Amino acid sequence: MLLAILYTLHKFPYHFVFCSLFLVAASITQKPSSVTVEEGKNVSLLCKATGQPTPMIKWRKAFSHMSRRNTAVVDGNLTIINVTKADAGAYACSAKNLLGKDSAVALVAVTDKLKFTLFPPSKVVATELSNVKLDCAALGEKELVWKRTSQNLEQNYALYPSYPNGTLLLKNVSLSDAGSYTCVAKNSQRSIEATSVVEVETPTSCSSIKSDRSGSSSGNYIIDPDGEGGVTPFSVYCDMRDKGGVGVTIIGHDSESRTYVNHVNPGCGGAGCYRKDVTYTGVSTAQLAALSRVSQNCEQFIKYECNPYSPFVERGYAWWVSRDGTRMDYWGGATGHSKMCACGVSNSCSSGRKCNCPSNQGWSADSGLLTDKSTLPVSQIRLGDLNSSSEEGYYTLGKLKCYGQA
Ligand SMILES: [Ca+2]
Ligand SMILES: [Ca+2]
């Protein structure tokens, strides 16, 4: 009988055999697919076969022995648990019965366990216009992208790293760049995430701009000395070369030119009869006070040139008014000494007194820097008296300069 079957098999197509004898050679109906699997995970390779009699399914690994430690074959499917690099390779499934044999091969590639090797900082506080670098590196990743979540945007969107190692560079950040940035590392099966919250602040002064970005050039910038809330941000000129390049905030005003006063204009009598209010360009007193608080130093140049007959600070005929409205009875360079000018402090006045003005030797001048940042800037200049043809002078008030970080 068996001989007859074998003879028939040899001579006729299988379908004929199936039809006539219900015997069929083993044939694989589901071939295993090649897979990439992460180290530590489990993987199953499927293999199904038909045939009569029911084929036996066996697995083997090409070019090496299949580990018995972490593999199992159940219902013809091969499962490898807790995959290691050593499990990578080609796996062959073979189905066999007495009428024949069929086989199929699948490749198992093993990748490193997906994990971050470098996390981005969880929070970054950046000054406007500075660059923000968010580092991120992962092992076992197939792709690394950054996802942006902004308060102003409805949808997240992907940003590709600026550097091959996964670092995202945000250049010249503005307030709209504030938000969450999520580094997403993916392999073929899953992804992992790490998030950085970026806060963007307006710089507090030109010195803060310079310390954040040493290469900043002189020009107009927006600053907000007291940060969020409080006074509104305002525009200033930053001189990035003055004072050793520390970054000097400069505020101009409407009384910068050297101004002549005499008996015609203003032509007034009495101590401090002439008053000149000083208006700072586009800046409120509160904003100036905030700037002085965050600055290590503030200064303002002040000068008076007088003829021999004009009474001055020493006799209480001239003074300046602080930003909060207080009368200040000293002149530039005297750092608060009552009724004094710079030459009075150094004991070098031409008159031999506390100020050069007025001098019986002709025209003279008193000048110097006001440096008490708690009282600056000058809000008003008071001069007098100027009602006779012999009384005349010129006053000059410099821009407010603040520098250094308090
Ligand atoms: Ca503010
Ligand atoms: Ca007079």
Check residue 16 and give its pLDDT.
47
Cα 133 to ligand 1 centre (Å): 26
* Mean pLDDT score, 250-257: 96
What residues contact residue 86 under an 8 Å CB cut-off, 6+ apart? 67
Cα 406 to ligand 1 centre (Å): 17
- Per-residue pLDDT for 78 more than 70? yes
Give residue 332's identity as a one-letter amino acid code.
G
- Per-residue pLDDT for 196 more than 80? yes
Check residue 20 and give its pLDDT.
46
* Mean pLDDT score, 77-106: 96
Domains 2-111 and 248-405 share a fold: no
Ligand closest in space to the Cα of 269 = 2
Cα 366 to ligand 1 centre (Å): 37
Check residue 52 and give its pLDDT.
94
pLDDT tens digits, 136-164: 999 999 999 998 875 555 555 677 788 88
SS3 content of the chain, % helix, strand, coil (to 5): 15, 40, 45
pLDDT, mean over the chain = 91
- From the list 55, 94, 59, the residue with the least C-alpha distance to 73 is 59
pLDDT tens digits, 357-390: 999 889 999 999 999 999 999 999 999 999 999 9
Check residue 152 and give its pLDDT.
53
**CATH assignment, 2-111:** 2.60.40.10
Cα 264 to ligand 2 centre (Å): 12
Check residue 21 and give its pLDDT.
63
Check residue 331 and give its pLDDT.
98
Return the H-helix or E-strand segment holding 88. none
- CA dihedral angle for residue 63, residue 67, residue 71, residue 72, rounded to 10 degrees: 80
Cα 182 to ligand 1 centre (Å): 29
- CA dihedral angle for residue 321, residue 326, residue 332, residue 337, rounded to 10 degrees: 150
Correct CATH for 248-405 of 3.30.1130.10, 2.60.120.10, 3.40.640.10, 2.60.120.1000: 2.60.120.1000
Q: Which residues surround ligand 2, an ion (CB under 5 A)?
A: 385, 387-388
Check residue 212 and give its pLDDT.
86
Residue pair 311/274 in contact by the 8 Å Cβ criterion? no
Q: Is the peptide bond before 377 cis (omega within 30 degrees of 0)?
A: yes
Residue pair 97/55 in contact by the 8 Å Cβ criterion? yes
- Per-residue pLDDT for 10 more than 60? no
Share of the chain above pLDDT 70, in %: 93
- Per-residue pLDDT for 314 more than 80? yes
Edge-first strand listing for the sheet containing 191-201: 123-127, 191-201, 179-186, 143-149, 157-159
Cα 201 to ligand 1 centre (Å): 10
- Per-residue pLDDT for 18 more than 70? no
Cα 260 to ligand 2 centre (Å): 16
Cα 336 to ligand 2 centre (Å): 27
What residues contact residue 311 under an 8 Å CB cut-off, 6+ apart? 271, 317, 318, 358, 384, 385
Cα 229 to ligand 2 centre (Å): 50
Give residue 12's identity as a one-letter amino acid code.
F
Ligand closest in space to the Cα of 293 = 1
Give residue 162's identity as a one-letter amino acid code.
S
Q: Which band of pLDDT confidence, cut at 50, 70 and 90, is reported for residue 211?
A: very high
**pTM as predicted:** 0.71
* Mean pLDDT score, 18-40: 87
Task: Classify domain 115-201 at the CATH class level.
Answer: mainly beta
- Per-residue pLDDT for 9 more than 70? no
Q: Which two tokens stand for residue 115?
A: 């994990």
Cα 82 to ligand 1 centre (Å): 57
Ligand closest in space to the Cα of 227 = 1
Q: Which band of pLDDT confidence, cut at 50, 70 and 90, is reported for residue 252?
A: very high
Check residue 239 and give its pLDDT.
98
Check residue 262 and give its pLDDT.
96
Cα 349 to ligand 2 centre (Å): 23
Cα 91 to ligand 1 centre (Å): 67
Cα 344 to ligand 1 centre (Å): 40
Cα 398 to ligand 2 centre (Å): 27
Q: What are the residues facing 259 on neighbouring strands?
A: 395
Q: What is the CA 77 to chain-centroid distance, rounded?
A: 53
- From the list 352, 279, 271, the residue with the least C-alpha distance to 313 is 271
Share of the chain above pLDDT 90, in %: 80
Q: Which residue has the higher pLDDT, 91 or 19?
A: 91
102 burial class (0-12, 13-18, 19+ CB within 10 angstroms)? buried
Domain boundaries, the chain: 2-111, 115-201, 248-405
Cα 387 to ligand 2 centre (Å): 5
Rounded distance, CA 278 to CA 293, Å?
Answer: 20
Ligand closest in space to the Cα of 223 = 1
* Mean pLDDT score, 239-245: 97
- Per-residue pLDDT for 109 more than 90? yes
DSSP 239-293: ESSHHHHT-EEEE-BTT-S-EEEBTTTB-B-STT-EEEE--BTT--HHHHHHHHH
